[in-house]
Structure 1
């Protein structure tokens, strides 16, 4: 009886400790219906919606369309999805967003590159310097509008791996470069972006 009680207590502690994260070691997180989007994410319905198994974001050069998860990413995680930059130049994955700071991982058609950078995000301001931030590492890639790209992001033991189409990739140490090691997930577009097959899992 004592063993059963201890096992129950341990499982309760485990569930409680994981409840603040997007996924747990036993579960992958996916957006499968609009209800999940509304319950798990913070967004303006004029900017982001989920339809026909596709997450669609709309923004503009002066006001980026942003969606932010309500829960934190796990300490070690992997994110996979496909994205199409339908209009304009920027699609950004916000990693470890906390206290208005985050890690920028993004596809940028103007520079024809994938990039890792430091970011800031002030919810109530579109002013220059209140969103985005400096680039830290980049690699050239022939990015185009109206084309689907497979994105993989992995953070394990404070090492960030960011790949597009399993061909172009960047690796960066969070700890050595003083980047955020925990926080929420978000997506940004300055035009129109479509996402499908989003899967977030603990490692």
Structure 2
């Protein structure tokens, strides 16, 4: 009986470690260790670093700082985080990155909006037209530097829900908006952004 239990436990651990998704149904993903950041994400260490419990990204208007997960997001998932845009005007949560295409969910201080849009990101070029993309949905929200914002993103049954501070919300259908149904996760900044309390979990 003990051998059977141990075999089952080891098999479960192997399945979790070899999973192609960034989180599993039995485990939330949290960014808490530098070694885990390096093993789970692709990034330039000059642009992104983890110190204690805070992930900090640095970019500029002409070269956005991007960090991208190595594994896929689950088909149905929920992402929670807190962000502080300490410099410049843009912070994006890049959803369902599939090759160069992704879903833009972002805070934009210049227009004072939160936005869902179609995105394109070419890792080898900062040319106009090879990054960013058109706005599909937006809602006005007062946004400032040096202020923490709570972000919740949920994708279930191809429906995207994007909320900031539980007060300003956007929703859309991935199918109807022709958005990527699945892919990787990323974060993007055109200045400096600090992220804490990041959790990613699978939804049934």
- Deviation for aligned residue 1:15: 2.7
Q: Given the alignment of the two structures, is residue 168 of structure 1 paired with residue 168 of structure 2, yes or no?
A: yes
- Deviation for aligned residue 1:17: 11
For 2:107, the equivalent position in structure 1 comes to 107
RMSD over aligned Cα, in angstroms? 1.8
Unaligned runs of 5+ in 2: none
Determine the C-alpha separation between the residues in 2 that align with 1:92 and 1:30.
Answer: 19
For 2:141, the equivalent position in structure 1 comes to 141
- Deviation for aligned residue 1:71: 0.2
Scaled by the length of structure 2, the TM-score of the pair is 0.92
For 2:122, the equivalent position in structure 1 comes to 122
For residues 18 and 112 of structure 1, do their structure 2 counterparts lie closer, same or farther at Cα, with a shift above 3 Å needed?
Answer: farther
CA distances 1:34-66 after superposition (whole Å, capped 9, x unpaired): 111100000000000000210000000000000
For 1:195, the equivalent position in structure 2 comes to 195
For 1:81, the equivalent position in structure 2 comes to 81
For 1:33, the equivalent position in structure 2 comes to 33
**Preserved CA contact (<8 Å) 2:32 2:52:** no
Unaligned runs of 5+ in 1: none
Alignment length (residue pairs):
196
Scaled by the length of structure 1, the TM-score of the pair is 0.93
Determine the C-alpha separation between the residues in 2 that align with 1:152 and 1:57.
Answer: 19
